[in-house]
Amino acid sequence: MNPYELRTPWVQTVQVILTAFTSRNRRTTIALLRNCGVPFTYLNVETPFNQRPRPNEPYWSRPKGISQRNLGLRWIRETLLFRRQPSVLYIADDDNTYSLEVFEEMRYTRRVSTWPVGLSGELPWEGCVTSATDRSRISQMWVAYKPNRPFPIDMAGFAVNMDLILNHPEAKFDYSRPRGLQESEFLAGLGLKHWSELEPKADGCQKILVWHTRTADPSLAAWRRLQSQGVVAPPIRDPV
């Protein structure tokens, strides 16, 4: 994510909370944020050594960003507890690419809003689907990985109204939860029960506004397997 992209009238009153996993390059990072002209808070906490992937393990073998996200949540709760203001929390990652439109969409989140994510879950895209007759309700979740999760959703695919964060101080991320269930556990901690409660954004989940863009070819193994079985993906509009 490039903070410079947020310096635009389209994205109003954005506060960046950058939680790093190391204190190295701290001065450089802070200087970059200052030059962006966007209000920011810089925090850092190291990932416990026993929770880091070993040299022979793939990067996705262990949950990432748990300590960092929890530190950010703690800062938010301590800072806003006595001076609440209408706001929305979105957890961004450094290996994602965002359309500025997604920040406009999430501003109107009542509880938890959602939208599709490109190049995610070994599919060209995954996430919410609405029917052509009712774009205001989610009819299914298009995913390949653990589709029976309470919330089969990627971290980049939802935003939370800040009232939920402050009203559920126990909601956080947990190293003991396996990969792919962090989102479900977090949303359950906010009082949600099922993905049907999520609010569809991006023209009723018809547009992709965020993509996973690591500096490596994306894995589409699940998509190729589904194609070989004759499965057809729901229609989607990718603006790129």
User: For the chain, which domains are there?
Assistant: 3-228 (3.90.550.10)
- The number of C-alpha atoms within 13 Å of 38 and in the hemisphere containing its C-beta is 23
Q: What is the largest CA-CA distance in the chain?
A: 55
Query: What tokens does 225 get?
Result: 């397997």
> Which residues have CB under 8 Å from 192's CB, separation 6+?
111, 112, 151, 198
β-strand 16-20 against 40-44: which pairing, if any? parallel
Backbone angles phi, psi at 169, to 5 degrees: -65, -15
Distance of alpha carbon 107 from alpha carbon 220, whole angstroms = 32
Q: What is the pLDDT of residues 174-215, one digit of tens each?
A: 999 888 899 999 999 999 999 999 999 999 999 999 999 877
95: annotated binding-site residue? yes
Give the catalytic positions in this structure.
183
H or E stretch covering 166? helix 162-167
Q: What is the pLDDT of residues 42-88, one digit of tens each?
A: 999 999 988 888 888 887 778 889 999 999 999 999 998 767 788 99
Q: What is the dihedral of CA 202, 207, 212, 217, to 10 degrees?
A: 180
